[in-house]
Amino acid sequence: MAIQFLDFPAEIREQIYGEILSTANSRCEPSCPEEPATYKFHLDILRANHMVYWEAKKVFQDNIFVKITTPWPEAIDHIKSDGKVPSVTTGDKAAAFRDFHLWVFIDTPATPYPQHHGNFSMLICLEDLEAFTRMWHFSNLNHIGLNQHLRLKLTIQDPHVPDRKIPRSLQTKLLLPFGMIKNLHTFSVHGAKLLPSVEEALQKERNVPDPSPEQSLEKGFELKEAGNKLLKDGLYHEALDRYVESFAAIHITVSGRLRSIHADGYYIRELSSGPHKGMRGDLVRMILRVQLVANVVLAYLKLEDWAEAYFWGKRSIVIFRQSVTGDEAEDFGDEDPQTWLGETWAARFPAHDAMGKIFYRTALASRKLGRIADMRILMRAAKIYLPRDEIVQKEARALEDERISEGEPW
């Protein structure tokens, strides 16, 4: 006789429900790394029969959900698309959902209540809460004074047993990510049996001021120098870790090949202290970014990871070319590189030495990968940007002589 699903022990059925309904197993990673992840819960299993419904529902309710509500639909769109925060659902389904552990309500004191046009909600998983608060943190840095107009109300609850105390560890996971959300017009936390120690820890985090642009840049340069020392000592993976930390110090997140630049507006000002006093913060940040990329490419060359060296270098070169010509194409084709490699640009570009190193090191990676056309163009660029580097000049001349002897024009 065939074994039915309900013939399995309860422990086995619970494991199966977990495979189907847990947030970890329901998460769908995007095919494009620049898109947010999504969630697909197979809730059809709840329709099987009464016993499966109650057993599966209990497992589903073990997930920790956070509901975000605002009076602005564009804010929900911004969180999803620009912030790349994965969502479980939005719209009416999110608005009607009640089995959440944390409700995040964001509006302004000037917003009329009740809302004329209703509220707009999205549902996210606990695992993605920090991505949400980090996105909000970057938005406030990019638009100085944004938080001063906002009111935030946090409400924690056990969605299944009213007035039951949520464990300290879960209260901490739910509330402490909001420690980076500072300088709000109004901030309040509510909930049954909210632990004072957790609330005090949250307030302590919120009282710590954000690093100034000067402090962020100084830390970024310090981490870069620490990486350079590790690179010199042959500790290439450790050096790459320091470079990633340096990017993070200036609000650029790196995850594999994905690099996301945040808080540009925070640096558009004249620096008032530190080693770069008097310079524009965005210019100093750009110089550090170029230097970091040059060193990352070198680290990958040392590791003989030609593909990563080429990827990091080529991406920055494409961005550089776009800033000069407006051309977003990733392939050089048969174009005349003089339009974006000229001596005039080299002289004016503040980080021309580091940019020259990116050209040269990416050319070396191109050679290893058999991308000869790219290698020749990039070596020519390196010759222009590093006019006093004897090794670069020698290799560039050799390539030029080789092409002339073969009768190929530059």
Within-domain flag for 410: no
- Specify if 300 maps to a domain: yes
Q: Count the alpha carbons within 13 Å of 321 in the hemisphere toward its beta carbon.
A: 24
| Total domains, the chain | 2
Residues 291, 316, single domain; the answer is yes
105 phi/psi in degrees, rounded to 5:
-110, 120
Indicate if 187 and 290 belong to the same structural domain: no
**Distance linking the first and last C-alpha atoms of the chain:** 79
> Which of 348 and 241 is assigned the larger pLDDT?
241
Do strands 151-156 and 186-191 pair parallel, antiparallel, or not at all (unpaired)? parallel
| Contact between 318 and 337 (Cβ < 8 Å) | no
Token representation of residue 118: 């209703």
Domain-ending residue, one of 172, 207, 242? 207
Residue type, 315: R
pLDDT band at 392 (very low <50, low <70, confident <90, very high): confident
Q: In which band, very low, low, confident or very high, does the pLDDT at 1 lie, cut at 50, 70 and 90?
A: low
**What pLDDT, on the 0 to 100 scale, is given for residue 61?**
84
Task: For CA atoms 226, 231, 234, 237, give the dihedral sign.
Answer: positive
* Cβ-proximal residues to 132 (8 Å cutoff; 6+ apart), any chain: 66, 68, 79, 83, 85, 124, 177
What would the pLDDT profile of 13-29 be if each residue is shown by its tens digit?
888 888 888 888 888 88
* CA dist 372 → 101, 167, 376, 404 (Å): 57, 61, 6, 15
Q: Does 135 lie in the same domain as 174?
A: yes
Which of 207, 234, 257 finishes a domain? Answer: 207
Instruction: Let me know how long the chain is.
Output: 410
Task: Give the range of the structural domain holding residue 84, as residue numbers without chain letter.
Answer: 5-207
pLDDT in tens, 165-211: 899 999 999 999 999 999 999 999 999 789 999 999 999 999 999 99
Q: What is the CATH number of the domain that holds 225?
A: 1.25.40.10
Verify that 42 and 184 share a domain, yes or no. yes
Q: How far apart are CA 310 and CA 362, in angstroms?
A: 5
Q: Are residues 164 and 274 in the same domain?
A: no
242 and 299 in contact (C-beta within 8 Å)?
no
Q: Alpha carbon 386 to chain centroid distance?
A: 33
Same domain, 195 and 258: no
Q: Please report, for residues 69, 79, 106, 147, 208, the alpha-carbon distance to residue 111 in angstroms, rounded to integers and kept in the order given.
A: 13, 20, 10, 15, 28
Q: What are phi and psi of 351, to 5 degrees?
A: -105, 45
Q: What is the pLDDT of residues 88-106, one digit of tens each?
A: 999 999 999 999 999 999 9
Give me the residue label for tokens 């909600």.
121
Domain assignment present for 120: yes
The two beta strands, 120-125 and 89-90, are: antiparallel
H or E element at residue 392: helix 390-405
For all residues of the chain together, what is the average pLDDT? 87
Last residue of a domain, one of 173, 191, 207: 207
DSSP string, 78-146: IIIIIS---BSEETHHHHH----SEEEEEE-TTS-SS-SS--EEEEEEGGGHHHHHHHHHHHHHHSTTG
pLDDT for 260-308, tens place per residue? 899 999 999 999 999 999 999 999 999 999 999 999 999 999 999 999 9
